[in-house]
Chains A and B, each alone.
Chain A
Amino acid sequence: MGLEVDDLRVFYRTLRGDVQAVDGVTFGVADGEIMGLAGESGCGKSSLGNSLVYLTGRMRYVGGGVKLDGAALPIWDFEAMNEYRYREISVIPQYAMSALNPTRKIGRMTSELLHSRGVAYKSVVNELLRRFELVGLSEDVLAMYPIELSGGMKQRTVMVISTLLDPSLLIADEITSALDVSSQRAVAELLVEFRDRGFVKSTIVITHDISVLYQVADTILVMYAGHLAEKAPADVIINSPCHPYTKLLISSLPEIGVRYSEKQLVGIPGTPPALLDPPQGCRFKDRCPLASAKCNRRPPFVDFDSGHQVACWEVAA
């Protein structure tokens, strides 16, 4: 069953009008799937992740539906969502590892968190220690303050704590971004391990680093300016992308082995549009080499191949 998102619209309220950060987004995440969500900063990927769990005061639910394992989530109702948060759907927000309470030891913090969800700390402490051991953390971590842990240790702690009640869906927002390459690999590989061991059923990994997604994700969803651009298996996105935005994005990534003196890569000219008053139709048209008059209407997000969806008039539809 997994997660089904249907035409979700979530805007930010500002004095000058609505910022259309998530505008008509439809996709699904199957059980056991790790879906990567990629895009430039400000394209709405974190807004999409957050809107499935926690609508902050400035975010306004406009329309659409979200179903988790067949049950509709009342994401517009802050109170009613409490039943699902952490138990069914868990989020590791961006910079979570820097947001650990500095005045609480890890053990006490976990116990307070579980208490707030009505779960006794004693009933899960054995499982907690078992999982700490699995990710290479010792029992002593429970008696430590966050300042005593390194970045990689903090991130692993956060991952264990947020999946302790075996949620159906984990949303991991930029969990590898602030880490060194060696801890980055260790943390990213844990995502796969947690899925394989059934700690979480499905995972959405939000990151701007597509090469990390290629390593761990089954499918990759590319967003641009609040719209979906392309979704396909990770191999397909990297090796044969269809949407012009995905193509340009992948071709601008330097890789070990590519050198300036031999081959000059190019970026994507222009900047993403402001979402306060976004252009009509396809939002990528101003930067797109294939743009034509058709692009003034919004392209539908349709099947291009099995398991491969694209929103572009030139490629599909």
Chain B
Amino acid sequence: MSAMVEIEGCTKVYRVGSFGSTRLTAVRDVSFDVQAGEVVSLIGESGSGKSTIGRMILRLSPVSAGTIRFNGEDVAALKGRGLREYHRHAQGVFQDPFSSYNPIYKADRVFTMVKDTYFPAVDAHDWARKINASLEAVSLDPTQVLHKYPHQLSGGQLQRLLVARALLLDIDFLVADEIISMLDASTRIDVLNLLGDLKARGLGILFITHDLSLGNYISDRTVILRRGVIVEMGATVKVFGDPQHAYTQMLLESVPHLHRKWEDMKADYARADAAIESDAIDSTLVELEPDHLVRRAGGASA
């Protein structure tokens, strides 16, 4: 089966400094794919390029090298109507729900904008029914959220409204970029479960996060990113259950656990740093077992 979203050898170089004199490689030769009905979590620390990958998939920023294919079609080649058609099927929800809305307008204006751009022909009555259906899918009560200003709604409600907006478009693929980092512990699990429901409806989801426990909870496959390079990827159970790269091990040992104390876990920063050093020289992703790849220096096998 061919994957819904295929990312092949993607690289992103930003020009920084005065007059773009310096080049900064934010993402280097990243390849992975997302199937329909699958949640893939992209985990990395700040500056690892995880959001850049999400933005490249959604065509919010161009790729420097490599290709991204959606259902076999090269995303970079899309223009005009084709691009709009693409955005009907692939949408993103981003980190800060409070800054995604214009505070001057009511929050449900995001729905009106979708109608104006994509469905100008649909009549108002059908549109209202469509909105209600999609609000129901994200378990929001229409009477509580429609005709309200963003400041009158909670972060969880706003974030779910954005997912509902994406659902209006009959999407197949959702980029969820840190969508629950800003939410409270008591509501974040509901938004996370919502992703699980969407997955059951056949959506492919790229779940971008820095929080390992959230990635572990929801995803089928995991990609660990460090400084724009994939260090380990594969089935979530394998990556978290039996981490092979020193960097992944260090991350897992630094996460605050609820029932295990840090004293019982030695985070080996030195070994992680050494592994990262050797990655820089000449390394490739090696398949250790089916659906579990890890970066090894010189392409030597395990």
Contact = CB atoms under 8 A, between A and B. Distances in A.
A241 B213 CA distance: 22
A241 to B, nearest CB: 12
Given A182-B269, A184-B254, A254 B217 contact: yes
Contact of A182 (B218, B250, B258): B250
Nearest to B214: A254
B189 A188 contact: no
B45 A180 contact: yes
B251 interface: yes
Contact of A253 (B210, B212, B258): B258
Nearest to B193: A264
Contact of A214 (B46, B186, B187, B256): B256
Given A182-B269, A189-B262, A259-B217, A253 B185 contact: yes
B242 to A, nearest CB: 13
Interface residues of A, number: 37
Residue of A151, A249, A250, A259 contacting most chain B CB atoms (<10 Å): A259
A185 B256 contact: yes
Contacts of B186: 40, 248-249, 252, 267-268
Contacts of A185: 254, 256, 262, 267
Contacts of A253: 185, 189, 213, 258
For the residues of B in contact with A, the DSSP-based class is helix
Given A212-B256, A260-B193, A182 B45 contact: yes
A266 B196 CA distance: 12
Given A185-B254, A256-B255, A257-B216, A249 B185 contact: yes
B110 interface: no
A260 B261 contact: no
A149 interface: no
Nearest to B237: A259
A209 B267 CA distance: 20
A256 B251 contact: no
Contact of B216 (A181, A209, A259, A264): A259
Interface in B230-287: 236-237, 240, 250-252, 254-259, 261-262, 267, 269
B200 to A, nearest CB: 10
Interface in A268-305: 268, 271
Interface in A219-258: 238-239, 248-250, 252-258
A181 B255 contact: yes
Nearest to B39: A260
A271 B154 contact: yes
B8 interface: no
A265 interface: yes
Contacts of B214: 254
A256 B240 contact: yes
Interface of A: 40-41, 151, 180-182, 184-185, 188-189, 208-212, 214-215, 238-239, 248-250, 252-260, 264-268, 271
Given A182-B250, A210-B185, A265-B193, 18 more contacts: A40-B184, A151-B46, A180-B210, A181-B212, A182-B267, A210-B258, A214-B261, A215-B256, A215-B261, A254-B216, A256-B212, A256-B240, A256-B257, A260-B193, A264-B193, A266-B190, A267-B187, A271-B156
Interface of B: 45-46, 154, 156, 184-190, 192-193, 196, 210, 212-214, 216-218, 236-237, 240, 250-252, 254-259, 261-262, 267, 269
26 contacts: A40-B186, A180-B46, A181-B210, A181-B255, A182-B251, A182-B267, A182-B269, A185-B256, A185-B262, A209-B185, A214-B256, A214-B258, A215-B257, A238-B258, A238-B259, A253-B213, A254-B213, A254-B217, A256-B213, A258-B216, A264-B193, A264-B196, A266-B189, A266-B193, A267-B186, A268-B187
